Structure 1
Amino acid sequence: MLTADYDRLGLRAGDRLLDLGCGFGRHAFEALRRGARVVACDMAVPELAATTETFAALQSAGEAAPDLLACAVNGDATRLPFADGSFDRIIASEVMEHVPDDLAALDELTRVLRPGGTMAVTIPAWLPEKLCWAISEEYHAPFVEGGHVRIYTEGELRRKMQGAGLDPGGAHLAHALHAPYWWLRCAVGPTNDTHPLVRAYTRLLEWDITSAPAVTRVTERVLNPVLGKSLVVYATKPVRSTVRV
């Protein structure tokens, strides 16, 4: 289940891509399949270990070139362990809402992106996220350690990107079918995985992800502009970048 659009990102074979907050690597794996040289970065060591195993499995199965860079790195978004201009493309998917100092994280992402490079930042969309926070205090921080610490508007994210020296461009919403799922989760308790309605909806989403049937794909495309759970904003680092003041 991909949130970022690789065509909008401008990803090409041979590009150096950073997947920040990679989790179990869904965006990193697709980038590797497309011929990118991939670094998956996260603070969670177990997820990085699983990502490394999947990289090896993809290359062994011939789904990705065996000589392509594919590695996982433990790192903090506000102090990235990479040199200036290390990456052609960056994906930071569902990361910024977790980071208390999101300005520092955006500064770091801008620093490690080469001039002329592009990034995709995805965050929970304002309306679905606002409803989740209203339904249950157990959905977000401080109740959830490491949980969501803010609700973004698109305008706020764009202003912060500009402050970091980026030129924000196009945007879109994604995953409309996931918004009602999380409202349901919040209504019955965010950790209540055994509730019959939650289990039924989970099976629906799993079927959608694995089978991609036309009925759900069309439904989501129609609903995304209104109910999309995730907002994606694309930005470019100017050849002459500015510095936050």
Structure 2
Amino acid sequence: MLTVDFSRFPIAPGDRVLDLGCGAGRHAFECYRRGARVVALDRNGEEIREVVRWFAAMEEAGEAPAGADASALQGDALALPFPDASFDVVIVSEVMEHIPDDKGVLAEMVRVLKPGGRIAVTVPRYGPEKVCWALSDAYHQVEGGHIRIYRADELLGKIREAGLRPYGTHHAHALHSPYWWLKCAFGVDNDRALPVRAYHKLLVWDIMKKPLATRVAEQALNPLMGKSFVAYATKPQLPRLPEAGTP
């Protein structure tokens, strides 16, 4: 299940991509399939080891084109182990709501992004997330849980303050908002409640089969109740220096 829309955020073969806070690797895998040179980074070592296994399986199955490359490593989003201007593309999906120093994360992303490079940032959307917080403290009051809820204009303001230029936004995963409302209402750790189990089966069916009816429904509902807010931005090109002898 991808949150970044790669029709709005295209990846070219050979692009060097950083998936920051990659989690299970969903966006990293898609970039790899598109021919990118991918680095997946997360603080969770167990997830990184699983991502490494999936990269190897994809290579063995021939899922990535010639020239594509992928690696995964454990690391800190506030101290990225890369030189300045290392990547053409940075993706940070459902990460910033977990980190106290979100401005520090943005600064690190800008540092490692090449001038002219592009970034995709996704966070839980304000309205659906407020419902989850109202229904359940356990949803967010856990170690490593969500510590803030972003309004769209707040996130875009921070992106601009970091020196980036936003160029597009949208919402995603409307069908997932009711699932999390049910989870919060019946207990976030209670997967046995009938409404939760029934809705989960619907989501799995939708993800696996991608029927036209639910695809159309989600597209129509995304502006109203999409679970995620997605923003795209570019890092400005450096100004050209005057040639020697030019006033």
Asked if these proteins are the same fold (TM beyond 0.5), I'd say: yes
Instruction: Say yes or no: does 1:128 pair with 2:128.
Output: yes
Letter in 2 for 1:32: Y
Percent of aligned positions that are identical: 58
Question: Per-residue displacement from partner, 1:2-52 (whole Å, max 9, x unpaired)?
Answer: 000123223111100111111110001010000001000100111111101
Query: 1:96-175 maps to which residues of 2 (within 5 A)?
Result: 96-140=96-140, 143-175=141-173
Q: Distance in 2 between matches of 1:5 and 1:233?
A: 10
The equivalent residue for 2:89 is: 89
Say if 1:19 and 1:41, in contact at 8 Å, map to a contact too.
yes
Q: 1:163, CA displacement in angstroms?
A: 1.1
Q: Distance in 1 between matches of 2:147 and 2:17?
A: 27
Q: Distance in 2 between matches of 1:233 and 1:111?
A: 18
Say if 1:60 and 1:66, in contact at 8 Å, map to a contact too.
no
Letter in 1 for 2:192: T
SS at match of 1:118: strand
Letter in 2 for 1:167: R
* Structure 2: gaps of 5 or more residues: 240-247
Letter in 1 for 2:49: A
The equivalent residue for 2:243 is: none
Say if 2:34 and 2:65, in contact at 8 Å, map to a contact too.
no
217-226 or 232-241: bigger deviation? 232-241
Question: Per-residue displacement from partner, 1:58-113 (whole Å, max 9, x unpaired)?
Answer: 11111113653200011111111111111101110000000110000000001011
What is the root-mean-square deviation in Å for CA atoms of aligned residues?
1.1
Q: Distance in 1 between matches of 2:62 and 2:11?
A: 20
Q: Distance in 1 between matches of 2:189 and 2:36?
A: 36
Count how many residue pairs are aligned between Structure 1 and Structure 2.
239
Question: Per-residue displacement from partner, 1:187-214 (whole Å, max 9, x unpaired)?
Answer: 0111111111111111111111111011
Q: Distance in 2 between matches of 1:109 and 1:61?
A: 32
Query: 1:39-78 maps to which residues of 2 (within 5 A)?
Result: 39-65=39-65, 67-78=67-78
Say if 2:115 and 2:235, in contact at 8 Å, map to a contact too.
yes
Instruction: Say yes or no: does 1:201 pair with 2:182.
Output: no
Say if 2:35 and 2:69, in contact at 8 Å, map to a contact too.
no
Letter in 2 for 1:14: G
Instruction: Say yes or no: does 1:5 pair with 2:5.
Output: yes
TM-score (normalised: structure 1): 0.95
Runs of 4+ with >4 A deviation: none
From 214, 222, 225, give the equivalent of 1:224. 222
TM-score (normalised: structure 2): 0.94
Q: Distance in 1 between matches of 2:108 and 2:126?
A: 24
Q: Distance in 2 between matches of 1:182 and 1:239?
A: 41
Q: Distance in 2 between matches of 1:86 and 1:67?
A: 18
Question: Per-residue displacement from partner, 1:207-238 (whole Å, max 9, x unpaired)?
Answer: 11111011111110110010100000001000
From 216, 234, 241, give the equivalent of 1:236. 234
Q: Distance in 1 between matches of 2:34 and 2:91?
A: 15
Q: Distance in 2 between matches of 1:68 and 1:80?
A: 22
From 172, 180, 183, give the equivalent of 2:181. 183
